[in-house]
Amino acid sequence: MAVEIVHARIDYRLIHGQVITKWLKQCGANRIIIIDDALSKDTFLGQVYKMAAPTGVQVDIVSVKQAANLWTPNKTVRGKIFILFKSVNMAKEAIDAGLKLSELQIGGLENTATRKVVHVGISMDKEDGEKLKVIQDGGTRVFFQTIPGEEVEELDEILKKMD
């Protein structure tokens, strides 16, 4: 089986309950790769996330640097891959390091006092918006959707709400 990225999502909660189960089922992924520098060094928390994944779904947690090498020739990464990022920063760093994504779904950004709610349960600040715009300008479709079946909102519409 070759490697195929079937879904890429930013969600600060990473692997959690029904949402992740629904997305895995919808996209047919059998492997999750979390790309996060801090989490790749935290073996305890890494184990917690691995245990949270549904049975039969392999979970790998890698740094941005490790991720850049995952899909080079001679690597053994196989399967239908669901990529998860905890933050816009990690997604942008991975893309800047050479990760190619046709689409990037924004499913959950942490709500803090400096952020504005821009989509159902998703809040964002100007800095995240600027980084997502750079990602989109590089050829990746960026869209907002928290759960399957919910209406999709494109980044350009979201950015209008930030003004």
Tokens matching residue 119: 């989509």
Query: For residue 109, what is the domain's CATH number?
Result: 3.40.35.10
CA distance 129 to 88: 9
Q: Provide the pLDDT for residue 163.
A: 76
Q: What is the pLDDT of residues 78-110, one digit of tens each?
A: 788 999 999 999 999 999 998 999 999 999 998
pTM, to two decimals: 0.92
Q: What is the pLDDT of residues 52-68, one digit of tens each?
A: 888 888 999 999 998 87
Q: What is the pLDDT of residues 12-31, one digit of tens each?
A: 999 988 777 889 989 999 89
Residue showing tokens 């050829």: 139
Residue 99 belongs to what domain range?
A: 3-162
Q: Is the pLDDT assigned to residue 42 strictly greater than 70?
A: yes
Domain tally for the chain? Answer: 1
Strands 153-154, 141-144: pairing kind: antiparallel
Using a 10 angstrom Cβ sphere, with 0-12 exposed, 13-18 middle and 19 or more buried, the burial of residue 133 is middle
Tokens matching residue 72: 């080079």
